[in-house]
Amino acid sequence: MDDLTLVKRVKSGDQRAFRTLVERYQRKVYAVALGMLKDKEEAMDVSQEAFVKVYKYLNHFKGDSSFYTWLYRITVNICIDVIRKKGGARGEDVEFDEAVALDTSEAQLGALGSRLGTNPQKSALRRELADKIEEALAQIPEKHRAILLLREIEGMSYEDLARVLDIPKGTVMSRLFHARNKVQKILSEYLDLDESKHGVGNE
């Protein structure tokens, strides 16, 4: 059953339809929140708040955009509010969820995620790279972190990003460029050292 059909059923009082929507998107919403906040409990709280807001304001959803983009816009806005209340992005080390780490290592942040290939022997290096990407994401502004997560990990189109973040498409492209550039600069030293150390680039 597609999202819009489920939304119509929820509006008519079908609680099971809402549970289906939650089950369909809860992992992705949590992954985005964890990627932005880097705290499992906060990410869980944001996920719950996002779905509470979705249920509360579902009658305001007219279907002009997809339910997916509407949900992620709510999630990102809540995350940004949390970050701003804490006085900005934090850079301290935190435990990174294994499943999300794998998603991040697979994300092609300017081709960074594919530098180590898919050889099983390099799994440790890929895990290490995932940690480095997480550290890099922690050092960039929330607006850049949000757009990278939604584009590179969630695979949102430029049009969806413009709707979710409520910015022009041109701004989406510019912001992505600057976000990728910042992450690449942060990771460039690690990648150069890693390849010379392990001989990854000499195969």
What does the pLDDT read at residue 192?
65
Q: Which amino acid is at 29?
A: V
The answer to whether the CB of 129 falls within 8 A of the CB of 162 is no
Based on the structure, what is the number of domains in the chain?
A: 1
Q: Which amino acid is at 76?
A: V
Write the CATH number for 147. 1.10.1740.10
What does the pLDDT read at residue 193?
55
Task: Look up the domain containing 33 and give its range.
Answer: 3-202
The answer to whether the CB of 134 falls within 8 A of the CB of 113 is no
What does the pLDDT read at residue 9?
94
| Separation CA 158–CA 135 (nearest Å) | 25
The pair of structure tokens assigned to 45 is 């709280």
Q: What is the pLDDT along the chain (203 residues), one digit of tens a residue?
A: 899 999 999 999 999 999 999 999 999 899 888 888 888 899 999 999 999 999 999 988 888 778 988 898 899 889 988 888 887 544 333 222 333 333 333 333 433 343 334 444 455 666 676 677 777 877 888 888 888 888 877 778 888 888 888 888 888 888 888 888 888 887 776 666 555 444 444 44
What does the pLDDT read at residue 129?
67
What does the pLDDT read at residue 194?
53
Please give the DSSP secondary-structure letter assigned to residue 12. T
The answer to whether the CB of 10 falls within 8 A of the CB of 18 is yes
Q: Please state the three-class secondary structure of 127-179 as a single string.
A: HHHHHHHHHHHHCCCHHHHHHHHHHHHCCCCHHHHHHHHCCCHHHHHHHHHHH
The answer to whether the CB of 163 falls within 8 A of the CB of 73 is yes
Q: Which amino acid is at 193?
A: L
How distant, in Å, are the alpha carbons of 20, 92, 134, 184 from that of 141? 34, 14, 13, 14
